Amino acid sequence: MEVKIQQPVEQQVSDTIMVEPTKKEKYKKIKKTIISQKYLQVMALLGVVWMFIFNYIPMYGLIIAFKEYSIIKTISEAPWVGLMQFKEFLQDENFWIVLKNTLGISLIKLIIGFPLPIIFALLLNELTSMKLKKAVQTISYLPHFISWVVLGGILTTWLADIGVLNDILLGLGLISERTNFLASPDNFWAIVILSDIWKELGWSAIIYLAAIAGVSPELYESSTIDGANRFQKMWHVTLPSIRPTITILFILAVSGVLNSNFDQILILRNSLNESASNVIDIYVYQMGLQNARYSYATAVGLLKAIIAFILLLSANKIVKKLNGTSLF
């Protein structure tokens, strides 16, 4: 009869424990991986070099926010002035105007424009006809590929007193006389917000459609067995499944609340609606490029970036506490 010798417990445990690789073995493994992916690594390296040259090296120029810089001197020769540029901006009579316009336009865009792509993606997902679905997707994406230079010119023509919008409203009897809509500050916010939503609605819905496509069909089958209708499936299955995507995009949207789409406003603004169109980005452009106050414009831009970073951290922390999902 064959007798099996039982190994000691310590020996059994030691046999099951994997030996941790040494630093030399780790280095060899990393080297092997890099060599096997050499073409991908080169492509990634080019992106890193591009980002370093155009995103990180220019950050040295931020020190002119604390100096009185002029083009006749180098950055190192410019005298230090400390926080003078920041104090001047906070005491400027235009400070509250640009802050009100920036926050007003951005917050309304966030409140109205953020949920609309989610709703659009949910409704688009419910279409059963693939031909109709593709047609709606294509039509909704197209405005995104039109630059604001072109689209701004089209809107300026449509909204003029001799434009097509006046013809339609007069024909319907909604107005009694022609008016130039872009000449009124009261209309500017609505024009900017609605045109931005119209242009980016379909494109913004793409990422939500991608998230919806990743929802397990078994969840829908289970809800069907439970007797859920299409709206209940949308509310109890689809929305909870794409919540992480919504959360991440919401955090990024909050951090960009001080961005007012510079291209759009620059094209649509004029001297008649200046009181409603003067936002932080336009103010920086005027001070820096038109008035050659480079240090002052840099200080305003840096202050805006600092506030955006604080908003990002705050939104991330609050959302993480509320539903456990965060950007980092």
Q: What is the pLDDT of residue 18?
A: 53
**DSSP H helices in 129-279:** 130-141, 148-158, 164-172, 185-204, 206-213, 217-225, 230-233, 239-241, 243-255, 262-268, 274-277
Structure tokens at 55: 């995103």
Assign 150 to helix, strand or coil: helix
pLDDT at position 3, please? 47
Give me the residue label for tokens 């180098």: 74
Instruction: Report the CATH superfamily, name and number, of domain 93-323.
Output: MetI-like (1.10.3720.10)
Residue 80 is given by DSSP the state B
pLDDT of residue 323: 80
Tell me the Ramachandran region of residue 228: left when phi exceeds 0, alpha when psi lies from -120 to 50, beta otherwise: beta
**Model-wide pTM > 0.85:** no
Q: What is the pLDDT of residue 19?
A: 57
In sequence order, which residues have a C-beta less than 8 Å from that of residue 61 and are 6 or more positions away? 75, 298
Phi-psi region of 292 (alpha: psi -120 to 50; beta: other; left: phi over 0): left
Q: In sequence order, what are the beta bridge partners of 80?
A: 67
- Of 106, 199, 112, which Cα lies nearest the Cα of 149? 199
Tens-binned pLDDT, residue by residue, of the chain (328 aa): 444 445 554 454 444 455 567 877 888 888 888 888 888 889 989 999 999 999 899 899 999 999 999 888 888 889 999 999 999 999 998 999 999 999 999 999 999 999 999 999 999 988 888 899 899 989 998 999 999 999 999 999 999 988 899 999 998 888 888 989 999 899 999 999 999 999 999 999 999 999 999 898 898 888 888 888 888 999 989 999 999 999 999 999 998 888 888 999 999 999 899 999 999 999 999 999 999 999 999 999 999 999 999 999 998 898 888 887 777 7
* 8 Å CB contact between 143 and 151: yes
Which pLDDT score is estimated for 90?
Answer: 92
CB atoms within 10 A of CB 150: 11
Q: CA 16 to CA 140: how far, in whole Å?
A: 58
- What is the C-alpha separation between 169 and 178, in angstroms, rounded? 9
What kind and span of H or E run contains 293? Answer: none
